[in-house]
Amino acid sequence: MTLVRETHSPQPKSSFDLSAYLADRVKKVEVALDSAVPITYPEKIYESMRYSLLAGGKRLRPILCLATCELVGGTVEMAMPTACALEMIHTMSLIHDDLPAMDNDDYRRGKLTNHKVYGDDIAILAGDGLLAYAFEIVADRTQNVPPQQVLQVISRLGNAVGAAGLVGGQVVDLDSEGLSDVSEETLNFIHTHKTGALLEACVVCGALLAGATPDDLDRLSRYAQNIGLAFQIVDDILDITATQEQLGKTAGKDLQAKKVTYPSLWGIEESKRRAQHLVESAQAELAIFGEKAQPLLAIADFITNRTH
Ligand code: GRG
């Protein structure tokens, strides 16, 4: 596994209350998302965008952005427009991923998928609307951040969504469907792009907004790359071990679609071990930040302990 690069020993466990922290952040993000997309004419498209955007979800991406911005000395207010943009981009990717031309799923976040409610045409447009709005909101609503840093964030978001990120990962994923001989290298490419690029952008954008030094950006990028891969390994395990109720989407989809996954390559126990190792390596990157890193340390643990 190439992403692991331990520079310090993992930090000791602390009494940080992650549940309370997450509950507070989820609430703040939900309020910001709700007010970011009001319904106006033509109502149908705004309703469709809001249907998926406000359907719940862990809000991991915006929370990572806010936490990193604070870690580097910024504020929640500085990062909230970017945090909302990241959740809009993520939601767009879920809407498009669920379409019949892609993964073809009926449930997401415990509800019918967007196209099942609004039709394929509106679902495609809802994704497009959210994607465009993500860039608009960062450019228009970010406050108390030098324009040069806002531009860096916009560039980073574009890079994470496009062919060098989500789109590229999705293309290789589609090409690999039904193939039994997908290599570990290809699987890593798919997931570092399809899942990892946006998670890394969350952390990097939060850091950029707060004016992080190049060294801190490098450390935080490595933290994000490691938790990104761990997140996907756990996602693959949960597809096998969790129920539809827990996941809020169809369980067992990978097996059904004959997808090569980390557990299919390594088995479940070895996959868990490797995810745990990645999380510890991610945490080791944060040693230099001391106590201030508690939220990001705890979020890394949450990635391996989660049940959905
Ligand atoms: C159209 C520009 C454009 C891009 C879309 C469809 C696509 C290209 C990419 C697919 C990306 C994708 C769906 C990756 C899967 C990522 C993943 C593991 C999602 C689940 O994330 P969670 O568990 O979900 O954080 P919640 O619901 O909690 O937010």
Determine the Cα–Cα distance for residues 248 and 143; give it in Å rounded to an integer.
Answer: 35
Q: What is the pLDDT of residue 307?
A: 84
Per-residue pLDDT at 3: 54
Q: In ligand 1, which atom is closest to the CA atom of 97? A: 6
Q: By alpha-carbon position, which residue is closest to atom 24 of ligand 1?
A: 57
Report which residue type is found at 196. Answer: G
Please report the pLDDT score of residue 207 as a whole number. Answer: 98
Query: What distance in angstroms lies between residue 90's CA and the mean position of ligand 1's atoms?
Result: 5
- Distance CA(99)–CA(34), nearest Å, equals 24
**Can you tell me which atom of ligand 1 is nearest the CA of 169?**
9
The Cα angle at residue 36 between residues 31 and 41, in degrees rounded to 5: 130
C-alpha 195 – ligand 1 centre gap (Å): 7
> Per the structure block, which two tokens stand in for 243?
């129920």
Please give the class, per CATH, of domain 18-305.
mainly alpha
> How many angstroms separate the alpha carbon of residue 97 from the centre of ligand 1?
7
Rounded to the nearest angstrom, the distance between the alpha carbon of 285 and the centre of ligand 1 is: 26
pLDDT score of 176? 94
Q: Phi and psi of 4, rounded to 5°? A: -70, 130
Determine the distance separating the centroid of ligand 1 and the alpha carbon of 143, expressed in angstroms: 28
Q: List, for the chain, all residue ranges whose pLDDT scores fall below the cut of 50.
A: 1-2, 6-12
Of 54, 58, 89, 97, best ligand 1 pocket probe by most atoms within 8 Å of the beta carbon: 97
Where are the chain's structural domains? 18-305
Provide residues with CB under 6 Å of ligand 1.
Answer: 57-58, 60, 90, 93-94, 96-97, 102, 109, 131, 161, 166-167, 170, 194-195, 235
d(CA 172, CA 156): 21
- What pLDDT does residue 202 have? 98
pLDDT in tens, 60-108: 999 999 999 999 999 999 999 999 999 999 999 999 999 999 999 999 9
